[in-house]
Chain A
């Protein structure tokens, strides 16, 4: 399994603010992902990275951006938050070696934009 850390767990913020959601893992995993999930709905991939300085957009278009400057850190940024960004954001990574196909998830960040 992977220990994936996400902060904050909950965030309530006003429209127009810039926010950064943090995701980190200390296992040296190369592959990391960001998903967006509305309550009771399926997960949609919005960004992924297969290594340092490598980021790609996912299947769902998102106004957020990501960076991967260090292996262990994969932050997601919204330059100007809007109510439509209200959702849960889940970070995940693949371990190396046995079980490398499986994504393990962090606890998520529940974002509310007023």
Chain B
């Protein structure tokens, strides 16, 4: 089964509007971390935001927030006030404890291509 599922291959949003990018995950480990990365057309991977499984509050970083719904196993990224420079691929990723082992490896979803229209 897919560990990370991103169901939206592409999304469009108008400049200055908010957009939500979906991510669901699958793990049986109680301790895990969820990440979002941005990949512009230049190819580099830019870390955006992190949510730990034990964190009580939803993570926020500037215009980025993570809507963490643990029972539903979802970790959606919300971008407020979209800018043209937000146009990029967005990847959701998870680190779990790999069934008790010490694990820092990430598993990535297939990504969502966000296009911000002027």
Question: In the bound complex, do residue A58 and residue B105 qualify as a contact, i.e. CB atoms below 8 Å apart?
Answer: yes
Chain-B contact segment, one of A62-70, A76-84, A98-106: A98-106
A23 neighbours in B (Cβ, 8 Å): none
Question: In the bound complex, do residue B111 and residue A48 qualify as a contact, i.e. CB atoms below 8 Å apart?
Answer: no
Given contacts A31-B104, A94-B104, contact A42 B43 (CB under 8 A): no
Given contacts A42-B91, A42-B110, A43-B91, contact A105 B44 (CB under 8 A): yes
Contacting A at CB under 8 A, from B88-114, are 89, 91, 95, 104-111, 113
A58 neighbours in B (Cβ, 8 Å): 105
Question: In the bound complex, do residue B105 and residue A41 qualify as a contact, i.e. CB atoms below 8 Å apart?
Answer: no
Q: Is the interface of A mostly helix, strand, loop or mixed?
A: loop
Question: In the bound complex, do residue A101 and residue B52 qualify as a contact, i.e. CB atoms below 8 Å apart?
Answer: yes
Say how far B63's CB is from chain A's closest CB, in angstroms: 18
Interface digits, A34-72 against B, CB 8 Å rule (1 contact, 0 not)?
A: 000000111111001010000000110000000000000
Number of interface residues of B (CB under 8 A): 23
Contacting A at CB under 8 A, from B14-43, are 33, 35, 37, 42-43
A31 neighbours in B (Cβ, 8 Å): 104
Question: In the bound complex, do residue A41 and residue B110 qualify as a contact, i.e. CB atoms below 8 Å apart?
Answer: yes
Q: Is the interface of B mostly helix, strand, loop or mixed?
A: strand
CA distance A108 to B107 in the complex (A): 18
Task: Please give the residue numbers on chain A whose beta carbons come within 8 Å of chain B beta carbons, in ascending order.
Answer: 1, 31, 33, 40-45, 48, 50, 58-59, 88, 90, 92, 94, 99, 101-108, 110
Give the 10 A-B residue pairs with the shortest CB-CB distance, closest first.
A105-B45, A43-B108, A108-B43, A42-B110, A42-B108, A107-B44, A101-B33, A31-B104, A102-B50, A102-B47
Q: Enumerate 23 A-B pairs (CB-CB under 8 Å) in ascending A order.
A: A42-B91, A42-B109, A42-B110, A43-B91, A43-B108, A45-B106, A48-B105, A58-B105, A59-B105, A59-B107, A90-B43, A94-B104, A99-B50, A101-B95, A101-B104, A102-B50, A104-B47, A105-B37, A105-B47, A107-B44, A108-B43, A108-B45, A110-B43
